[in-house]
Amino acid sequence: MVPVMSSKPDKHAAEAPEGEEGAPKKGGKKKLILIAVPVLLIGVGAGLWFTGILPGLLGMKAEEHHAEETHKPSAPVFVDLPDMVANLAGSSTKQTYIKLQARLEIAKHEDAEKIKAAMPRLQDMFQTYLREMRPEELRTSIGTYRLREELLGRANVAVAPVRVNDVLFTQMLIQ
């Protein structure tokens, strides 16, 4: 048997609320406002923060400016090392020598006296390392860079707690 459909509307269909059939509820605008207002306020606040207006209004900019003034980097200080001459290690019967003039770069002027006091230790460490080098190692820029890095490490060990920022070669002669 086939069910017969009547032309009368069903009682249950007439009692269904309007919101279920796709018509907007009355509270939809309230939800939109409750979501949109905080998002808009956050957006405006972020815009003011990243443009620098909000930190200025909150008094944060003056503190940052004061902090920048006290931490200005000072000009580096250079300490000349005495000329060093060392014979290089080699397998040939002909001796090869290196003459090296270098400077140490440090951050504070007060540390220059500490480095001068540790100069004999520095010279000893540099000379010992130079005597172990082979002429082939110093012929390329990579070898020179490696020499600089090794001398920098040794300088920091010799003058600790003073920090040496760089070793600069003013003259390097290999004969």
At 149-173, the pLDDT tens digits run 999 999 999 998 999 999 999 999 9
| Res 29: pLDDT | 85
Task: For residue 105, give the 3-state DSSP assignment.
Answer: strand
pLDDT attached to residue 126: 93
58 pLDDT band (50/70/90 cuts)? Answer: confident
**pTM of the entire structure?**
0.57
Residue 6, pLDDT above cutoff 60: no
97 within 8 A of 140, measured Cβ to Cβ: no
d(CA 170, CA 100): 8
Query: pLDDT confidence of 84, banded at 50, 70, 90?
Result: very high
Q: Name the token pair of 166.
A: 């760089």
Cα–Cα distance measured from residue 46 to residue 54, given in angstroms and rounded to the nearest whole number: 9
pLDDT in tens, 21-50: 555 556 788 888 889 999 999 999 888 888
- Band (pLDDT 50/70/90 cuts) for residue 127 is very high
Query: What sign has the CA pseudo-torsion 19, 20, 24, 25?
Result: positive
